Structure 1
Amino acid sequence: MTEPFEPYREWLGIEPHEMPVDHYRLLGVRRFEDDPTVIAAAADHRMLHVRSHQTGRRAVYTQKLLNELAAAKVCLLNPGSKASYDQVLQAVFFTPDAPPPIGQIAIAPFTINSQDLEVVVDDSSEDFEEEFEEQSGSNLWFVSGVIAFVLLLVTVSTVAYRLRMAKQREMQADDWQSPQIGASTLDDLNYEESEPILLYQEANGSINLDASFAQLHGPSIGLAISGNVDVIDAWESMDDWVSWAFKVVKLPPQGVFQVRVTYAARVEADGGSFVIAIGDQEKVCDVRGTGEVVTDEYFIAVPSSGVHTLAVRAKSKPSQRLMTLKSVNLAFE
């Protein structure tokens, strides 16, 4: 029976037990690498290697991997997003030390003063031997019980520690599922205009436009991290907007994609609206201000195959901020 192909292992040297990996491991550089030249060179080298398989029988695996490499490169080459990402990694990897091992029980040395000994010859040696055997048996059971208790205590402590660490990592990974929608600080956001990244269709025909791939435009909008997920935040100006460049190879029937917008908005933002546009095709979408993550679905037509740009712009904004945007997905239906 043929083993399933592992693109991470075969192309990037990442073993299955290492998954999921952080951006640094994905690019093959040391964790928290600060030299942008090293990061850029490593990303370009890996992306070039993956692209060499785009025309082979493993081509179906390339696009997802290229998108992940591009996202890692963009995140780590931007000082603002890198600082936020490193902060998350430090919380995950620099956890409190494991509980110290239980030390050996100090036992005072047992000394016998030979001067105090008195040799007594007793004819009832058989009774003495039986009594000694009984006492030895009792001591053996006592020592065995102590050892078993210590081993049990160590096992329970270790299991409890591992469960606590696993729960902590799970909570960090799931922060986006119940985000705290509050006021972001300047240190949390990246306000620099990002460079466009051309995204490709996945093997199933869908196109995933995540926040980490977005090109940001405007005076206040920025890229932030919620949990370990990149999001577009501080959408405060009507002049703020985002865009993605993508390439369509195969169109769905009638060229219509199902659009899934995943975002979160405060209660006071309810009733606002935004526009999704691809060329001349536009779709007006309402903002649901629930304070929780929601995914709204729409339909939009793409006129032809080739390179296109999807833009998201504010249309109306009843409160200070429009929304916190995670992704726009074009599903092949």
Structure 2
Amino acid sequence: MQNPSKSRNRLIFAALAATLLFSFTADRNAAQASPESPVIALSNSYYGNTWRHQMVESFEEAAGQAKKDGKIQDFIVVNGDGTTNQQMSQMADLILRKVDVIAINAASETALNGTIQKACQAGIKVLAFDSIVSAPCAYTLGFDFAKYQGDMAREIAKRLNGKGNIIVVRGVKGSAPDNEMYNGQIEALKQFPEIKTVATVYGQATTSVAQSAVANVLPSLPHVDAVLGQGGGDDFGIAQAFEQYGGAYADAMPIISGGGSSNFIQWWSERRKKNGYSTISMNTTPGIGGAAFWLSYEIAKGAKPPQKMTMPVAVVDEKNLDEYLKMPSGTIVSPSFSQEWVQRMLLQSPAKQ
């Protein structure tokens, strides 16, 4: 019978050897990456809502097709918990693995700048998208959050004839998009001094969190005429909170700004048929994940895009509402963005293949 201590030592040694072999293989493969056969990484700071899930899926779908077609050597996806510390650690690992391009959806506009600068100094290209950064060496692909949320806030204020009580439901706390969207809403509302914000809560761009946040404040509020959200599924959560509260809202729901979620669109359609309910929906498109992959690929291949680029938002109103009724439950309105779209719409000139 073998000595148990010696047996354990052999197992530990074998596991250590396997780990070292894997690390050596990964480092060797990363070192062999090149613009001819690049390795492209996604560093996603937060994975806790539908929008981020769809964004990652769109990146993986585009990257998987590119790998199948032999355009890239490999791709890497790392998801974080929303903290800058974890994303810094993950970014440091990607730098050590010597990937060619890092597409980053950042936890902070500024806190990751030092790590991003290190990546750039190591010869790694960095594309910050959606929640972007201010590091000067990074390309950025964002949305005009302040403008589109300001446009939606003004439209709803006009529907209220410039008077009424509203709730503002903010998004992912501490993120650049949340700050920009909120500032856009507040700036727009300055044009309507008789509209009063009676509560501001965080919904984390998530159906369940938004529903709970609104439900918790409703009993203490005067009658609410409208709610401004940020999307990602919070729109349906907000609607559910008012449905459950009932009372005066049973027949006269507030105007809820849509964020492009399929569940909200279906709820909106049913309400519209019942009593003519009307609103508007605008949302950032999670398909940006696919656009970010193809833009990263083009950059790896030598493309020189503008330093700052902007993505379109999706708009749903009564005119095109029916077009989205067959969307799967729990999804967000979003087109997909192909390599050809990226070349045509984001690059100054088509990149060579």
**TM-score computed with the length of structure 1 as normaliser:** 0.24
Greater share of strand residues, 1 or 2?
1
Greater share of helix residues, 1 or 2?
2
**TM-score computed with the length of structure 2 as normaliser:** 0.23
Which structure has the larger Rg? 1
Structure with the larger RCO, 1 or 2 (CA within 8 Å, 6+ apart)? 2
